[in-house]
C-alpha cells in the first residue's frame, strides 16, 4: 500500500532533550516536506527536500534540522526542543512538482514540557 509513515504518533518530552521524528515513504517520491499545524495558523512548512541530499528551509525552520540521505526517508530533528515547538507535525511527499498531489503521514503530536 502506498503510504507515508511517521513515527511516533504521540511524543511527550522535556525542554532540551533531543528528539527525532521519522518519516518514510514507499512511493519513490522525489519531494518530501515537513509541516507543523497549530490552531488558527493552519499548516506551515518547516523544511522540504527536492531530492536526496537536497534540502531547503520552509517558512518556519528555526529550531529544526532535517536530512535526506536516502530517497525514502526524511527525518525531522529537534536538537533542543522548546515549549513553542509543541505542535502537530506532518510529513508529506509527492512525485514531481506542485501540480501533483501531496501524500501525508498520519501526524505526530509533540508536547514539549
Partner 1 sequence: SQQGEEDPQALSIQEGENATMNCSYKTSINNLQWYRQNSGRGLVHLILIRSNEREKHSGRLRVTLDTSKKSSSLLITASRAADTASYFCATDGGATNKLIFGTGTLLAVQP
Record the cell numbers describing residue 92, joined without a space. Answer: 508529506
Q: CB of 99: closest distance to partner 1 in angstroms?
A: 5
Q: CB of 16: closest distance to partner 1 in angstroms?
A: 26
Dihedral angle computed from the Cα positions of residues 90, 60, 62 and 47, in that order, rounded to the nearest 10 degrees = 50
* CB atoms closer than 10 angstroms to residue 25: 24
Within positions 11 to 50, which residues make up the interface with partner 1, using CB under 8 A? 33, 35, 40-45, 48, 50
Q: How far apart are CA 56 and CA 73, in angstroms?
A: 15
What is the pattern of x (binds partner 1, CB under 8 A) and - over residues 67-106? ---------------------x-x-x----xxx-xxxxxx
Q: CB of 106: closest distance to partner 1 in angstroms?
A: 5
Q: CB of 13: closest distance to partner 1 in angstroms?
A: 19
Element holding 108 (H helix, E strand): strand 108-112
Q: Residue 22: which of 37, 11, 38, 30 has the closest Cα?
A: 11
Per CB under 8 A, does 1 bind partner 1?
A: no
Indicate the SS3 state at residue 85: helix
Residues engaged in binding partner 1 (CB under 8 A): 4, 33, 35, 40-45, 48, 50, 56, 58-59, 88, 90, 92, 97-99, 101-107, 109
Amino acid at each position: 500500500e502506498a503510504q507515508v509513515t511517521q513515527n511516533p504518533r504521540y511524543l511527550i518530552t522535556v525542554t532540551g532533550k533531543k528528539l527525532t521524528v521519522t518519516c518514510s515513504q514507499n512511493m519513490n517520491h522525489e519531494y518530501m516536506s515537513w509541516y507543523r499545524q497549530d490552531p488558527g495558523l493552519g499548516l506551515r512548512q518547516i523544511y522540504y527536500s527536492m531530492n536526496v541530499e537536497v534540502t531547503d528551509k520552509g517558512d518556519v525552520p528555526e529550531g529544526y534540522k532535517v536530512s535526506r540521505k536516502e530517497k525514502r526517508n526524511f527525518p525531522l530533528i529537534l536538537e533542543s526542543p522548546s515549549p513553542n515547538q509543541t505542535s502537530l507535525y506532518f510529513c508529506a511527499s509527492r512525485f514531481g512538482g506542485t501540480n501533483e498531489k501531496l501524500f501525508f503521514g498520519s501526524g505526530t503530536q509533540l508536547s514539549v514540557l
